[in-house]
């Protein structure tokens, strides 16, 4: 029996060797292609993918697609997925590879078996986008071309993809202050528009998710709401932020009871406001409602939201919207509540506090009081807090100089998980220096106490510091203690004296933006120590020579020293900045070659 076993094992080993080395001949455009029988990939689809690879430039990419090699199984290539039974390519996901190409190569549209296509966060260009052959993707269920450098009208062929479940053509709103011209500068914005929203969605009845943020829909008039209600009855996610929408938020949308996420922020800028769409409060499965900057007016109904799973409610920057703080069927599920730059007030007594999951809170002047804050409890999950102290929502008034935010800061200090704090027109003292867990601090028009407190140096975990207007006097050298800082953004402040040399100690800084903020004198030479800096923009009264040490910043991709008083020659060391894609030294008194 043992000898039979050994013979069987030897036979199986030889069979394995035979199968692994045997060659199958497949027709490929009239030519014979030799592929191991174990390959799942179809040769014509591998050829199309290789042609697509040839169309890409990899100058800024995060990959070389090195696995995309002729003679290998394309089903194992980076970003490629195949059906396990047929071997057809069903997934092409090259999200955020930073690839560049001059339009979509026609080879892409021969992959007719695709079900999921994601080319987002690549510069695929827009020259041929209108004539692209998306209609060939009859099996496509998910299409993501967000932030991919597209421009012009949305290709009509996309509206023919009747099996689509998810469509994303967005340019995601980017907070420029979170890097400004740094890493986010290399996102590839779409510049798309659609003149007939009704025609566009007429065949997309299977859509569950629609993301068109920053697509210009201004020519669609008021039809967007009625069109969605008529043609896309199963829609669950509606994201139309910053689409230049007009007209009312049509009541026809009340028929879309399946809506879970509604994002309509930054729309409706015509002079006349609109009432809060009360029917949104009746959607049983609503989890996200973002209506910031939508020119809402009047009063919010006093009845509670019906959804027991509401996580995000953002009504901020609707300065004519008033009422009492909303009621919730289940406040314990709420993670974001933003009422800053509104006219909401709270009723006494306040509802029982059970905001146990709240992570982000934005409050207007009327709500900044210990009476109201105590109703929330400890808020141990709170990570972001924004306090809007502007009087009557006017930028040129702040809380009276006698107002005491000491108890408020004491309350804030109890929240050890707080990582982001925004103060808008708020008077405060050095108490901010006690919030040592902060990673982001934004101060807008916080000028009551004049100079920046030296206790700012206690915030050693800070990653992002934004100062817009306010402050006076010299910047404290304690700024150099913020050694974990990644982004420094200062605009319109009234600092005096030179830029402190201690800025050169911020060696982890990636982006520095200082515009018209009062600094005078020369640029400190220690700025050459900021060797991780990718973007630097300085405008204002800085004078003297551009220090030769600037040539040490060899990671710089963006350098703008505009409208200063620099004189002399451009330092020769600037040739070391081989990563530069933007150099602006205009409006100075520079000379030489």
For 134-144, the pLDDT digits (tens) are 999 999 999 99
Residue 63 in domain: yes
With vertex at residue 334, the alpha carbon angle to CA 330 and CA 338, rounded to the nearest 5 degrees, is 130
Residue 444 in domain: no
Mean pLDDT across the stretch 32-60? Answer: 82
Residue 582 pLDDT exceeds 70: yes
Residue 178 pLDDT class (50, 70, 90 cuts): very low
Q: What is the pLDDT of residues 206-238, one digit of tens each?
A: 999 999 999 999 988 788 999 999 999 999 999
Mean pLDDT across the stretch 312-334? Answer: 91
CATH of the domain at 61: 3.80.10.10
Pairing of β 23-28 and β 31-36: antiparallel
Mean pLDDT across the stretch 39-63? Answer: 94
Q: Quick one: pLDDT at residue 25? A: 30
Mean pLDDT across the stretch 31-49? Answer: 73
HEC string for 520-572: EEECCHHHHHCCCCCEEEEEEEEEECCCHHHHHCCCCCEEEECCCEEEEECCH
User: What is the number of other CB atoms lying within 10 angstroms of the CB of residue 400?
Assistant: 11
User: What is the number of other CB atoms lying within 10 angstroms of the CB of residue 450?
Assistant: 11
143's CB contacts (< 8 A; 6+ apart) are 117, 118, 134, 137, 158, 161, 164, 166, 167, 168
Residue 129 pLDDT exceeds 80: no
Task: Give the residue from 82, 91, 80 showing the smallest Cα distance to 141.
Answer: 91
pTM: 0.85
- What is the total count of domains within the chain? 1
Residue 285 pLDDT exceeds 50: yes
Q: Quick one: pLDDT at residue 348? A: 59
260 or 428: which leads in pLDDT: 260
Q: Quick one: pLDDT at residue 397? A: 41
According to DSSP, the residues that pair with 521 across neighbouring strands are: 542
| CA atoms of 476 and 257, how far apart (whole Å) | 55
Residue pair 490/512 in contact (Cβ under 8 Å)? The answer is no
285 or 188: which leads in pLDDT: 285
With vertex at residue 335, the alpha carbon angle to CA 333 and CA 336, rounded to the nearest 5 degrees, is 135
Q: What is the pLDDT of residues 68-123, one digit of tens each?
A: 999 999 999 999 999 999 999 999 999 999 999 988 999 999 999 999 999 999 99
Residue 385 in domain: no
Residue 443 in domain: no
Q: Quick one: pLDDT at residue 60? A: 83
| CA atoms of 545 and 554, how far apart (whole Å) | 19
What is the residue-averaged pLDDT of the chain?
85
Mean pLDDT across the stretch 251-256? Answer: 95
Residue 180 in domain: yes
Q: Quick one: pLDDT at residue 187? A: 61
Counts of helices then strands in the chain (DSSP H, E): 6, 33
Q: What is the pLDDT of residues 474-509, one digit of tens each?
A: 999 999 999 999 999 999 988 989 999 999 999 999
301's CB contacts (< 8 A; 6+ apart) are 276, 278, 281, 323
| CA atoms of 196 and 569, how far apart (whole Å) | 55
Q: What is the pLDDT of residues 340-354, one digit of tens each?
A: 999 999 875 455 567
Residue pair 315/342 in contact (Cβ under 8 Å)? The answer is yes
Q: Quick one: pLDDT at residue 128? A: 62
Mean pLDDT across the stretch 191-196? Answer: 92
According to DSSP, the residues that pair with 262 across neighbouring strands are: 238, 289
According to DSSP, the residues that pair with 193 across neighbouring strands are: 153, 216
| CA atoms of 124 and 326, how far apart (whole Å) | 44
Q: Quick one: pLDDT at residue 404? A: 54
Q: Quick one: pLDDT at residue 389? A: 86
Residue 456 in domain: no
- The sign of the dihedral angle between the CA atoms of 264, 270, 276, 280 is negative
Q: Where are the alpha helices (DSSP H) in 383-537?
A: 406-413
Q: Quick one: pLDDT at residue 354? A: 77
Mean pLDDT across the stretch 400-414? Answer: 68
Q: What is the pLDDT of residues 290-312, one digit of tens each?
A: 999 999 999 999 888 999 999 99
Percent of residues, the chain, with pLDDT higher than 70: 86
Residue 393 pLDDT exceeds 70: no
Residue 41 pLDDT exceeds 60: yes
Residue 205 in domain: yes
3-state secondary structure of 339: coil
Residue 319 in domain: no
| CA atoms of 525 and 522, how far apart (whole Å) | 9
C-alpha distances (whole Å) from 267 to each of 192, 498, 591 are: 16, 42, 47
> Residue 480: phi, psi to the nearest 5?
-70, -10
| Structural domain boundaries enclosing 134 | 45-210
């Amino acid at each position: 029996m043992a000898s039979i076993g050994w013979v069987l094992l030897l036979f199986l080993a030889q069979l394995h060797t035979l199968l692994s080395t045997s060659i199958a001949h497949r027709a490929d455009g009239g030519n014979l292609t030799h592929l191991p029988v174990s390959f799942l990939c179809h040769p014509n689809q591998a050829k199309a993918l290789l042609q697509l690879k040839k169309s890409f430039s990899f100058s800024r990419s995060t990959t070389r697609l090195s696995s995309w090699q002729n003679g290998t199984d394309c089903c194992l290539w980076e970003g490629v997925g195949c059906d396990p039974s047929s071997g057809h390519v069903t997934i092409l996901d090259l999200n955020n590879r930073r690839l560049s190409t001059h339009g979509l190569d026609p080879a892409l549209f021969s992959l007719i078996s695709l079900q999921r296509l994601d080319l987002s966060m690549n510069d695929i260009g827009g020259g041929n986008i209108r004539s692209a052959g998306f209609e060939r993707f009859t099996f496509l269920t998910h299409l993501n071309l967000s932030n991919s450098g597209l421009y012009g009208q949305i290709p009509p062929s996309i509206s023919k993809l009747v099996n689509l479940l998810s469509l994303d053509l967005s340019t995601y709103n980017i907070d420029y202050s979170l890097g400004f011209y740094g890493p986010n500068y290399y996102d590839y914005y779409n510049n798309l528009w659609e003149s007939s929203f009704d025609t566009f969605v007429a065949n997309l009845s299977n859509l569950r998710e629609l993301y068109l943020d920053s697509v210009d829909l201004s020519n669609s008039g008021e039809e967007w709401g009625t069109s969605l209600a008529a043609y896309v009855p199963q829609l669950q996610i509606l994201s139309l932020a910053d689409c230049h929408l007009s007209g009312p938020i049509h009541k026809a949308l009340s028929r879309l009871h399946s809506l879970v996420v509604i994002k309509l922020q930054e729309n409706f800028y015509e002079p006349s406001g609109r009432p809060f769409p009360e029917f949104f409060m009746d959607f049983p499965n609503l989890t996200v409602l973002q209506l910031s900057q939508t020119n809402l007016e009047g009063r919010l109904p006093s009845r509670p939201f019906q959804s027991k799973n509401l996580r995000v409610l953002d009504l901020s920057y609707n300065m004519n919207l008033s009422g009492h703080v909303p009621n919730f069927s289940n406040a314990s599920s709420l993670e974001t509540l933003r009422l800053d730059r509104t006219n909401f007030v709270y009723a006494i007594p306040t509802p029982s506090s059970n905001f146990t999951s709240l992570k982000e809170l934005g409050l207007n002047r009327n709500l900044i009081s210990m009476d109201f804050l105590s109703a929330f409890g400890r808020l141990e999950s709170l990570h972001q807090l924004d306090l809007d102290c502007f009087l009557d929502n006017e930028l040129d008034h702040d809380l009276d100089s006698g107002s005491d935010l000491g108890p408020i800061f004491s309350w804030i200090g109890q929240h050890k998980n707080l990582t982001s704090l925004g103060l808008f027109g708020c008077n405060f003292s050095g108490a901010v220096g006690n919030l040592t867990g902060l990673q982001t601090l934004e101060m807008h028009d916080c000028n009551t106490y004049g100079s920046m407190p030296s206790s700012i140096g206690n915030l050693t975990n800070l990653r992002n510091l934004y100062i817009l207007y306010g402050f006076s006097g010299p910047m404290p050298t304690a700024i150099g203690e913020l050694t974990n800082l990644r982004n420094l953004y200062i605009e319109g402040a009234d600092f005096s004296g030179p830029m402190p040399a201690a800025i050169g100690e911020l060696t982890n800084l990636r982006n520095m933006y200082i515009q018209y903020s009062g600094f005078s004198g020369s640029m400190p030479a220690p700025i050459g120590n900021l060797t991780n800096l990718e973007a630097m923009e300085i405008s204002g009264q800085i004078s003297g020579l551009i220090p030769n040490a600037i040539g040490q910043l060899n990671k710089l991709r963006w350098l703008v020293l505009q409208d200063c008083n620099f004189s002399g020659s451009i330092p020769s060391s600037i040739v070391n900045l081989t990563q530069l894609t933007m150099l602006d030294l205009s409006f100075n008194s520079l000379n030489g070659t």
